[in-house]
Structure 1
């Protein structure tokens, strides 16, 4: 797994993702995660700068994180309470940490950072290996936006401004995609591309079954709005069965 969230990205990550830090976005996610943790420990795969981990810890849930990017974790450490959260640097599809957890979770499309199906399968196995019997694994991820692609088109723009543009590119044969960003400042252009692998809800369910977990809930929002044909994302919960 390559680190695409180095210093150049980490330095402005919170600002460029500011809408995801809004209380009305973070609050419902923390509410549901705290409920599922039920007083136990939580493991965040891809903890980043602590957008979810910090408020979850303030709710009394002990959180440990795994993240490949030391630069992102440094931003977490610099925030109030960040030094109290344990973090292991490594690939969250394979890295093991001591102990077991009542909850493991992946948010904000982070499962797509694993660009091979095998790595996504291993991520589910890794999450299950960390869970206590009866523990839950939660994934928040978008539904692939392929309905916006007419025949012959591979690109979907999602941000257009006077000095910045952003677009996703899809390969429907391999499920490879990338998010691409173009910015122009003082007459100079900069281009950045981050690779992903999009994944379908049914595919995630099969990965969970391979890892010995079962689906117990799927909604289109953290507030449990129904998941429908028109849903653009989903929050899914799988449980590791008790003996």
Structure 2
């Protein structure tokens, strides 16, 4: 899995859309695009971790100019092969630090992608990078899960999230460092194959502090893109931070 594209090389990119098929369904995509269209207004949108264009392409079809940053050339090649893929600009690089020209009305990170930055320093840098790209009054949007530590009894560090006759998938948490990993054990032709993806989980309050360090302020937080209220039982959140207009 380790190559110039990190954990999202040719093999993962080729099957990514199929493996995340539920996230490509209209009921998952349309509310996100609707919200981003509203925030973009007459401006441009910047997607950090654009991947295969799940959100960027329908956003561009709604008339919003979209630019993306992504480290994986293989994922971007999948985007380019899709209808309209040539209309979205992409810069290859680390979305925590890579700068592109111009300013944007909205920058966004979806589907837990902030957790792909595996250190607090990188996550802080990402907020600073997003803020530097925003025009005054612009917004930074993140969709990410709430860490499921309530499901960990004392002495346990793993939370299963997929169990089938041919695959076992579980997250492993280190509560001392906020390091976590998603692990997949898949049976192929009678043999077990293990895949491992490292992340760093982050709390909503910690994200708010990162935003404040970057000169942003929390504007809205919901449970999902349909803007359901965020509560203590919510398993994820969509948060919007705003760059002051002055």
TM over 0.5: yes
Q: Deviations over 1:48-70 (max 9, x none)?
A: 00000000000000000000111
Query: What corresponds to 1:137 in structure 2?
Result: 140
Query: TM-score scaled by structure 2?
Result: 0.97
Corresponding residue to 2:184 among 181, 196, 207:
181
Deviation at 1:188, TM superposition (A): 2.4
Deviation at 1:190, TM superposition (A): 1.4
Corresponding residue to 1:91 among 91, 94, 118:
94
**Unpaired segments ≥5 residues, structure 2:** none
Deviation at 1:2, TM superposition (A): 7.3
Corresponding residue to 2:228 among 221, 225, 229:
225
The structure 1 segments of at least 4 consecutive aligned residues displaced by more than 3 Å after TM superposition are: none
8 Å contact from structure 2 (residues 168, 186) kept in 1: yes
CA distance in 2, matches of 1:125, 1:19: 31
- 1:96-175 residue pairs with structure 2 within 5 A? 96-175=99-178
Corresponding residue to 1:41 among 44, 47, 63:
44
Query: What corresponds to 2:34 in structure 1?
Result: 31
**Unpaired segments ≥5 residues, structure 1:** none
CA distance in 2, matches of 1:14, 1:189: 23
CA distance in 1, matches of 2:42, 2:145: 28
SS of structure 1 residue aligned to 2:64: coil
Query: What corresponds to 2:218 in structure 1?
Result: 215
Q: Deviations over 1:66-105 (max 9, x none)?
A: 0011110000000000011100010000000000000000
SS of structure 2 residue aligned to 1:11: helix
Deviation at 1:15, TM superposition (A): 0.4
